[in-house]
Structure 1
Amino acid sequence: MTEDVVNVSAPARLHLGFLDPGGRSGRRFGGIGLALDAPSTCLSIRRAGHDRVEGADAERAAEHLAAMRRHLGVDQAHELTIEEAIPAHAGLGSGTQLALAVAAGLRTLEGFPTDYAGDAARLGRGNRSGLGASFFGQGGLAVDGGKRTQDRPPPIISRFPFPTDWRVILVLEPANVGLHGPDEIAAFDALPPFPESETAEICRLVLMQTLPGLAEADIAAFGDSIATIQEMVGGHFAPAQGGVFASPRVARACSLLAEGGAHGIGQSSWGPTGFAFAASAQEAERLVDATRAQGTAQDLDIRIVAGRNRGAGVERASRRQLAGAG
């Protein structure tokens, strides 16, 4: 007899900048982001005689599982194993992807239809951005139109596939974490109003440079606009995080990448993860090697990844099938 098991692989994301953090346009936040092919949150879920949740961030995953079972009216114990996790509080969307991976795994196992945006709201995710839930369903680069009311998720107003030849250089600092939880809320509350003129400029850049650059695979135009957006948004958040970058080490490594010819330097969300773009895998390797040769990579985790033009993988299998595949 076989046992059903559902495997879920959820993508990390970069948050490339807000459009209107202050909401003077009538819609607050808005944002532009990119799904990544790595790192990922990977988990499996099956029915069991009693609950068991194992792996990274197991406590939070157990809370999500319990909340979704209450919502769906499922009276059944489960075994949930997290085999791999996106680094937590690094600016890569780990919390949203874990929540949606648990929800999607449970829904698929128990025969319920998907509801990514709804589950994100139920599990306390997407309070400022609709990008995480969007990337769980589809990949690519997307723009959300900001929140008009608290009870409705931001709409996705644009989506483009990310060029398959381009690469993303991630600069992570494992010993550091970005603002999150109550500290993040307090930081937003303490910041001054975001200048309306900068919102107008960011919207112009996204519409007339970022998206056309992506559509035409013009990495220079794309990168220049992302770097400018990052400077404006990072400057606004600098009082809360100690600078345009939350980590001086990450900032130095990203500066060297820029000097070497990388495009679109910035920090994802509250960081500390920094990023840069390269036109090819070979160019990305050259840039990373040159940066490491400067001795700035100590205590940093520098990775080369691709964009992801598909959503999460959610697959039903069976324990007997899995054993036979080995």
Structure 2
Amino acid sequence: MNQLKVGATPESTTGLLAGVRVEAPARLHLGLLDLAGDLGRRFGSIGVAIDEPVLDLTVRLSHGFSVEGAEAARVARYAESAARVLGLDRRIAENVAITVERAIPAHAGFGSGTQLALAVAAALARIAGARFDAAKVAADLDRGARSGVGLTAFERGGFVVDGGRGPSSLVPPVLARIAFPRGWRIVLVMDPGLVGSHGTDEMEAFKSLPPLPPERAAHLCRLTMMKLLPGLVEEDIGEFGAAITEIQEVLGDHFAPAQGGRRFVSPAVTEVLGLCRAAGAAGVGQSSWGPTGFAIVPSAKAARALVDYVVMNCHTGSDLQFLITQGRNRGALITPLA
């Protein structure tokens, strides 16, 4: 394997950064708008970038290739693919040390794969001084095949609605990107004993489901346009939360056959979300294929009170994990290292 040092010959390798740190946000996927595709576009997504959990990794020039931390095998695959997509000198990709300081839980509804792939690619591009087109990299690395929320979360953060995949879409186009209210909080309900559908299982699940009737897709679009987004813009958490909950109920009923006959994947999370609704949470649901659930509340104080209430009253939630987070209105932070 070729070795590379900063400033080493040949001349094309001079001027490289010693290293880069990338902090990228998780995202919640809150719903799909149209699964039929009879208008020429399919899916359409709603989602939001969140402050926690977060991906934090560093990539440094080194003698040889190494990965430390969570998901090492996955990181190595993305590094190899990203270097190819970016057209980098192979000596750069083969001589970096990657350390994952903090990881987003995989296959839990947080979009960890997209953030990991884009973070590694962005770091390699910054080190090499190469152009980084996040949309092209995402498409070439087969990220965001059904949703553009993760890509926008990486680039800009915020609350996102995309227009789904069309015949000529590189990635789903962003139709709305709105700042999430700073005061609102999101209580995450995580079941570490389960993983959500992904990869081949996810594709098979989509194939096994019947088409979403056009009238239901129309209802989802109307809820999004006339209730969800106005509630967000006007910071009316009651309107916003009611729309999220109804969207989740419609989609949960549709996806129930692929989720074991339940609206949500985890029975324990399902019980907790019922308690959250009873306790006055503005909106509840499951992110993507789960198992992570969420509850939306108006403040940090309300979030802490909700978690305390659930812990005291849930009889099956002893193995669950709770995290209070908020919307993140900026994208990934990419910082050169000395």
| TM over 0.5, shorter chain | yes
Matches within 5 A, 1:1-326: 4-71=18-85, 72-75=87-90, 76=92, 77-149=95-167, 152-242=170-260, 243-296=262-315, 297-318=317-338
Q: 1:193 and 1:80 mapped to 2: Cα distance?
A: 43
Provide, for residues 25-77 of structure 1, a one-character-per-residue CA deviation record: whole Å limited to 9, x for no partner.
32100011000000011100011110011111111111111112223232221
Q: 1:106 and 1:260 mapped to 2: Cα distance?
A: 47
Q: 1:287 and 1:304 mapped to 2: Cα distance?
A: 10
Question: What letter is aligned with 1:62?
Answer: A
Equivalenced residue count is: 318
SS of equivalent residue, structure 2 residue 31? strand
Provide, for residues 159-209 of structure 1, a one-character-per-residue CA deviation record: whole Å limited to 9, x for no partner.
110000000010000111001111111010010010110110110111111
Q: 2:40 and 2:83 mapped to 1: Cα distance?
A: 36
Q: CA deviation at 1:149?
A: 2.1
Q: 2:73 and 2:134 mapped to 1: Cα distance?
A: 21
Provide, for residues 90-129 of structure 1, a one-character-per-residue CA deviation record: whole Å limited to 9, x for no partner.
0110111110110111111111122111111111211101
Q: CA deviation at 1:236?
A: 0.6
Question: What letter is aligned with 2:75?
Answer: A
Question: What letter is aligned with 1:134?
Answer: T
- Where does structure 2 lack aligned partners over 5 or more consecutive residues? 7-16
| Identity between Structure 1 and Structure 2 (%) | 49
Partner of 2:12: none
SS of equivalent residue, structure 1 residue 26? coil
TM-score, with length taken from structure 1: 0.95
- Where does structure 1 lack aligned partners over 5 or more consecutive residues? 319-326
Q: 1:307 and 1:49 mapped to 2: Cα distance?
A: 39
Q: 1:194 and 1:33 mapped to 2: Cα distance?
A: 20
Q: 2:297 and 2:45 mapped to 1: Cα distance?
A: 22
Question: What letter is aligned with 1:98?
Answer: L
Q: CA deviation at 1:151?
A: 5.5
Partner of 1:323: none
Q: Where in structure 1 do 4 or more consecutive aligned residues deviate above 3 Å?
A: none
Question: What letter is aligned with 1:266?
Answer: G
Q: CA deviation at 1:4?
A: 1.8
Question: What letter is aligned with 2:267?
Answer: P
Q: Higher mean Cα deviation, 179-188 or 1-10?
A: 1-10
Q: 1:110 and 1:253 mapped to 2: Cα distance?
A: 47
Q: 1:211 and 1:177 mapped to 2: Cα distance?
A: 30
Question: What letter is aligned with 2:337?
Answer: A
Partner of 2:9: none
Provide, for residues 230-263 of structure 1, a one-character-per-residue CA deviation record: whole Å limited to 9, x for no partner.
0001111100012110011000001101100001
Q: 1:109 and 1:98 mapped to 2: Cα distance?
A: 17
Q: 1:168 and 1:68 mapped to 2: Cα distance?
A: 33
Q: 1:278 and 1:256 mapped to 2: Cα distance?
A: 13
Question: What letter is aligned with 1:232?
Answer: V
